[in-house]
């Protein structure tokens, strides 16, 4: 961290300020030029808050050279992290050359629906079944998901197909209901629900952490750091669109987040083209683009009857479209020397 001191600051007060900083456990290297005095902080500066420093009357600007995250930082963990989930006869993996494709309906609606979709996406080559039991909805009057019953139905679909399941946790006090869930999703609106993140850090289940729709790359990695600081490093990051000024798509899928996150962090990064665009017809194009950009996987909404879906039907593709898409995705994966984990066709 580098601190530019305001012009005209006296030597004594700058030294007193340096001493104050050293008490916080960092080394301070003072450099006084003709036009500018600069303090260089060395050591672990993650606990030093740049904004707080700016309150000091001597401080002109602060520049962070070291990132504020440690455990999520590729600098200290150069190899890709691979998340592994047990499946009958082995493991399903995401990261480090293994692509995870998670597919299924926005909401679990009933047994027939979830089992039918699970079979269809497995057949097409998906590696994981996604489906919502607890749904965060903007309106209190909208369908909020089946709740615990939805979880039970997901587990039944898992038994039927062998597909590991991914579903969203909205309230940490539901955690015990999630025992048979393979990957716990933290939704975009909860990315900075620090209470939730801390608790998930104490457990050992993989966490699918979605980027908030107005969160920066750094904030997403700091959210991961909350989980990791509790001891749980099994995290999959997920880009799902950010808010912009153009209403054409629901959100703006920020695919540059993929190479950005993979450069900054060793954690796997997947993409959700369904929620990002909100438009079923656009999902295949953006799914292909995500893999070409280097994503470690995808999470895609597939519904056997999108028109009758209880939520988000406008962004769900049919099993037929999904199967066709998977064919192209395998070709793109092959170009990059990667493999989509799932049923071998």
251-270 residues in contact with a copy of itself (CB under 8 A) are 252-256, 258-260, 263
Q: Closest approach of Cβ 295 to a copy of itself, in Å?
A: 9
Q: Which of residues 81-120 bind a copy of itself (CB under 8 A)?
A: none
Q: Are 141 and 173 in contact (CB under 8 A)?
A: no
344: which 2 tokens? 């071998």
Helical packing angle, 194-202 and 217-229, nearest 10°: 40
Q: Which residues pair with 86 in a beta bridge?
A: 91
Q: Closest approach of Cβ 18 to a copy of itself, in Å?
A: 12
Q: Which stretch binds a copy of itself (CB under 8 A): 96-104, 114-122, 209-217, 231-239?
A: 209-217
Q: Closest approach of Cβ 35 to a copy of itself, in Å?
A: 3
Q: Closest approach of Cβ 299 to a copy of itself, in Å?
A: 17
29 sits near a copy of itself (criterion: CB under 8 A): yes
Q: Which is nearer to a copy of itself, 173 or 179 (CB)?
A: 173
Q: Which is nearer to a copy of itself, 34 or 344 (CB)?
A: 34
DSSP letter string, 212-252? PTT--HHHHHHHHHHHHHTT---EEEEE--B--S-TTSSSB
Which of 159, 165, 161, 160 lies closest to 183 in space, CA to CA? 165
Q: Which stretch binds a copy of itself (CB under 8 A): 91-99, 113-121, 133-141, 155-163?
A: 133-141
Could you say which of 25, 97, 136, 148 contacts a copy of itself (CB under 8 A)? 136
Which of 74, 72, 94 lies closest to 224 in space, CA to CA? 72
Q: Which is nearer to a copy of itself, 110 or 216 (CB)?
A: 216
Q: Closest approach of Cβ 78 to a copy of itself, in Å?
A: 15
40 sits near a copy of itself (criterion: CB under 8 A): yes
Pairing mode of beta strands 83-87, 90-94 = antiparallel
Residue written as token pair 């997901």: 154
Q: Which of residues 268-287 bind a copy of itself (CB under 8 A)?
A: 276-278, 280-282, 285-286
Which of 333, 345, 344, 342 lies closest to 97 in space, CA to CA? 333
Which sign does the torsion angle of CA 288, 236, 167, 171 carry?
Answer: negative
Where would I find the H helices in 131-190?
A: 148-161
Q: Which of residues 287-306 bind a copy of itself (CB under 8 A)?
A: 288-294, 306
Q: Which is nearer to a copy of itself, 136 or 204 (CB)?
A: 136
Could you say which of 103, 121, 267, 310 contacts a copy of itself (CB under 8 A)? 310
Q: Which of residues 147-176 bind a copy of itself (CB under 8 A)?
A: 170-171, 173
Which of 259, 275, 211 lies closest to 239 in space, CA to CA? 211
Distance, in Å, from the CA atom of 178 to the CA atom of 205, rounded to the nearest integer, reads: 10
Binding string, 50-69, against a copy of itself, x = CB under 8 A? -xx-xxxx--xx-x-x--x-
2 sits near a copy of itself (criterion: CB under 8 A): yes
């Amino acid at each position: 961290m580098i601190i530019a001191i305001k012009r005209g600051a006296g030597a004594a007060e700058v030294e007193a300020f340096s001493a104050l900083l050293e008490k916080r456990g960092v080394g301070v290297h003072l450099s006084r030029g003709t036009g500018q005095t600069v303090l260089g902080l060395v050591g672990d500066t993650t606990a030093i808050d740049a904004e707080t420093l700016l309150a000091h009357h001597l401080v002109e600007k602060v520049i962070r050279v070291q990132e504020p995250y440690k455990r999520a930082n590729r600098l200290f963990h150069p190899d890709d992290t691979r998340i592994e989930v047990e499946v009958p006869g082995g493991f399903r993996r995401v990261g480090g050359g293994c692509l995870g494709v998670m597919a299924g309906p926005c909401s679990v609606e009933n047994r027939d629906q979830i089992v039918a979709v699970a079979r269809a996406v497995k057949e097409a080559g998906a590696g994981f079944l996604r489906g919502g039991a607890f749904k965060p909805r903007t309106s209190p009057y909208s369908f909020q998901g089946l709740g615990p019953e939805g979880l039970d139905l997901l587990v039944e679909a898992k038994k039927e197909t062998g597909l590991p399941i991914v579903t969203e946790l909205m309230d940490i006090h539901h955690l015990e209901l999630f025992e048979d869930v393979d990957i716990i999703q933290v939704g975009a609106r909860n990315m900075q629900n620090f209470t939730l993140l801390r608790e998930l850090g104490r457990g050992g289940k993989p966490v699918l952490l979605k980027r908030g729709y107005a969160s920066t790359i750094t904030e997403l990695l700091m959210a991961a750091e909350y989980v990791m600081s509790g001891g749980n490093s099994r995290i999959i990051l997920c880009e799902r669109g950010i808010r912009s000024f153009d209403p054409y798509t629901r959100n703006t899928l920020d695919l540059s987040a993929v190479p950005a996150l993979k450069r900054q962090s060793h954690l796997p990064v997947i993409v959700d083209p369904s929620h990002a665009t909100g438009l079923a017809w656009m999902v295949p194009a953006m799914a292909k683009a995500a893999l070409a950009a280097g994503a470690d996987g995808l999470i895609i909404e597939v519904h056997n009857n999108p028109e009758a879906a209880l939520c988000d039907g406008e962004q769900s593709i049919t099993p037929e479209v999904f199967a066709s898409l998977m064919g192209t995705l395998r070709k793109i994966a092959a170009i990059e020397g990667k493999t989509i984990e799932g049923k071998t066709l």
